[in-house]
């Protein structure tokens, strides 16, 4: 079994690690090394390296504890628009490639809270979204009779209003639509499934990166911390728990790479993406909790790596849906495939 990263993935991860200064604007720094263009399809101005490149980027972002959620939302939005075309969005694409533009989806990851009235105008408040301002939003709006339509909206101060929010101290926002106009966009069901699967796989990579950083920090700490004159790592109750999670991590990394590889070749199974995201979310939470516990009071300091990893894992583990729901979806997909 070869657990080594693909050489291209390793180079991408190294470039991301070098680009992040933790003092500047992360999206601009990433744009300087070709993110998000590196994984975007060529028609969207990307390099076409696919999801296998994207997971290398997001795994490294997780390790750096720089989650940049607006980056993944932007890529998801662009992939949903790929079949519909991006005519008239040249200015937005240009800013995205420069690291200054963003796009967002509304009503995709949960119940639709925005409705479309008879005049084709949008009303309602979005779910909690990344805090970044956006250049364009792809809104899934409820219509009469239980249906929905997709509309592309450019924000304006008169009909779209920002409401500040927070998730465990992390900045976030909700957007209120009051008679906002939008351009109807055809989102093909097959494209929707594929884009959501890719988004879940990127999120899984981020979570595995957070878990990796949390475990590395915990392992280093218990190797130095003495109790009864011995490093904590020499006590089986400590070493066995860390070793178990490190072994789990190797397995989930293999599954993550297999999921991305199959997706890039158009052979992804319906159960694959929800399965890897559910597994990565639970793993990240276990790793972050263990790191926090082993550090004791030191780990509870707000600026510490264990506390930061715990907060980020808690938020990101449910951003695209809770693990329990994802496991159910994966199970249903497997049963449907077995009965086909």
Across the chain, mean pLDDT equals 92
pLDDT, tens digit (0-9, with 9 covering 90-100), for 28-77: 999 999 999 999 989 888 999 999 999 999 999 999 999 999 999 999 99
Domain covering 103-187 in this structure, CATH number: 2.40.110.10
Q: Are the folds of 103-187 and 190-339 the same?
A: no
Question: Is the confidence at residue 336, as pLDDT, over 80?
Answer: yes
Condensed to tens digits (0 to 9), the pLDDT of residues 139-189 reads 999 998 889 999 999 988 899 999 999 888 788 999 999 999 999 999 989
C-alpha 208/C-alpha 259 separation (Å) is 14
Residue with tokens 């729901």: 325
Structure tokens at 330: 């994966």
pLDDT band for 334, please (50, 70, 90 cuts). Answer: very high
Question: Mean per-residue pLDDT for 104-132?
Answer: 93
Does 86 have pLDDT greater than 70?
A: no
Closest residue by Cα to residue 210 from 289, 288, 277, 290: 288
pLDDT tens digits, 261-280: 999 999 999 999 999 999 99
**Going by C-beta distance under 8 Å and a sequence separation of 6 or more, which residues neighbour residue 90?**
none
* Model confidence pLDDT, tens digit, residues 227-249: 777 877 777 888 899 999 999 99
User: CATH topology for 190-339?
Assistant: Butyryl-CoA Dehydrogenase, subunit A; domain 3 (1.20.140)
Compute the radius of gyration of the chain from its Cα atoms: 21
Model pTM score = 0.95
Res. 3: pLDDT tops 60: no
- Domain coordinates in residue numbering, the chain: 103-187, 190-339
Q: Please state the φ and ψ torsions of residue 318, each to the nearest 5 degrees.
A: -120, 5
Q: Enter the DSSP assignment of 271.
A: T
């Amino acid at each position: 079994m070869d657990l080594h990263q693909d050489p291209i993935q390793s180079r991408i991860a190294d470039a991301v690690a070098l680009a992040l200064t933790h003092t500047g604007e992360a999206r601009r720094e990433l744009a300087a090394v070709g993110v998000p263009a590196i994984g975007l399809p060529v028609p969207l101005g990307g390099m076409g390296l696919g999801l296998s490149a994207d997971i290398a980027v997001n795994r490294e972002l997780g390790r750096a504890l720089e989650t940049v959620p607006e980056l993944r939302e932007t890529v998801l939005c662009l992939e949903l628009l790929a079949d519909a075309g991006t005519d008239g969005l040249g200015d937005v694409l240009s800013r995205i490639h420069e690291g200054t533009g963003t796009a967002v989806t509304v009503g995709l990851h949960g119940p639709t809270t925005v409705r479309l009235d008879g005049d084709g105008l949008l009303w309602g408040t979005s779910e909690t979204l990344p805090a970044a301002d956006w250049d364009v939003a792809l809104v899934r709006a409820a219509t009469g009779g239980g249906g929905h339509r997709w509309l592309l909206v450019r924000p304006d101060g008169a009909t779209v209003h920002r409401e500040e929010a927070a998730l465990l101290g992390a900045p976030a926002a909700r957007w209120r639509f009051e008679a906002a106009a939008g351009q109807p966009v055809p989102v093909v069901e097959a494209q929707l499934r594929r884009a959501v699967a890719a988004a879940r796989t990127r999120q899984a990579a981020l979570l595995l990166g957070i878990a990796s950083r949390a475990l590395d920090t915990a392992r280093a700490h218990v190797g130095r911390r003495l109790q009864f004159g011995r490093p904590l790592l020499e006590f089986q109750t400590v070493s066995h728990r860390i070793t178990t999670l490190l072994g789990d991590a190797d397995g989930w990394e293999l599954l993550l790479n297999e999921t991305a590889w199959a997706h890039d070749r158009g052979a992804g199974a319906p159960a694959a993406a929800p399965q890897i995201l559910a597994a990565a979310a639970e793993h990240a939470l276990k790793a972050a909790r263990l790191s926090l516990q082993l550090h004791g009071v030191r780990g509870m300091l707000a600026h510490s790596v264990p506390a930061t990893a715990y907060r980020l894992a808690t938020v990101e583990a449910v951003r695209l849906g809770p693990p329990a729901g994802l496991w159910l979806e994966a199970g249903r997909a497997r049963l449907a495939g077995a009965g086909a």
